[in-house]
């Protein structure tokens, strides 16, 4: 599957956005870095999946709580409440993108070193519970 130029730019924007948000949290909730990360992340999503699909993703009825929390957290970061904003944003992020965690977990379990670590007895149960993976009866 080939990516268009817009999708490549979108991936770069989302990646830089996540990097700046991570850096903002590591530097004791620096509001400017968090705001820049939010702007880049939000600008990159429509470039990756398209503006129409982005609108439908955020406006689905079952994702409404996640959407409100995510954008409410962004607004709180812009209003100089970075700690509360990041916490509210994290709740929204989990509500919006939580369905993808089992898929991501299965991908990570296929990697050489990370997969071995994630398959350790106690860690496997904890990670499965956090990601919401259901155990089969077989």
pTM: 0.82
Is pLDDT at 1 greater than 80 in this prediction? no
Q: How confident is the model at residue 130 (pLDDT cuts 50, 70, 90)?
A: confident
The shares of helix, strand and coil residues in the chain, as percent rounded to the nearest 5, are 85, 0, 15
Q: How confident is the model at residue 135 (pLDDT cuts 50, 70, 90)?
A: low
Domain ranges of the chain: 5-98
**Contact between 44 and 11 (Cβ < 8 Å):** yes
How many residues appear in the chain? Answer: 138
Mean residue pLDDT of the chain comes to 92
Residues 72-108 pLDDT 10s? 999 999 999 999 999 999 999 999 988 888 888 888 8
Q: From residue 36, how far is each of 20, 29, 57, 113, 137 by CA, in Å?
A: 7, 12, 22, 33, 46
As given in the structure block, the two tokens for residue 35 are 């705001």
- Calculate the CA dihedral of residues 82, 88, 92, 97 and round it to 10 degrees: 60
Q: From residue 84, how far is each of 36, 64, 73, 94 by CA, in Å?
A: 17, 20, 7, 16
């Amino acid at each position: 599957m080939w990516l268009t130029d817009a999708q490549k730019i979108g991936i770069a924007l989302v990646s830089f956005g996540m990097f700046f948000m991570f850096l903002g949290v590591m530097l004791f909730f620096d509001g400017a870095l968090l705001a820049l990360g939010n702007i880049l992340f939000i600008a990159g999503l429509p470039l990756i999946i398209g503006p129409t699909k982005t609108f439908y993703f955020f406006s689905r009825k079952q994702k409404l709580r996640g959407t409100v929390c995510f954008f409410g957290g962004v607004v709180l970061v812009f209003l100089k409440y970075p700690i509360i904003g990041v916490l509210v944003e994290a709740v929204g992020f989990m509500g919006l993108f939580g369905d993808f965690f089992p898929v991501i977990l299965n991908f990570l379990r296929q990697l050489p070193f990370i997969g071995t670590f994630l398959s350790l007895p106690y860690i496997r149960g904890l990670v499965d519970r956090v990601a919401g993976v259901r155990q089969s009866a077989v």
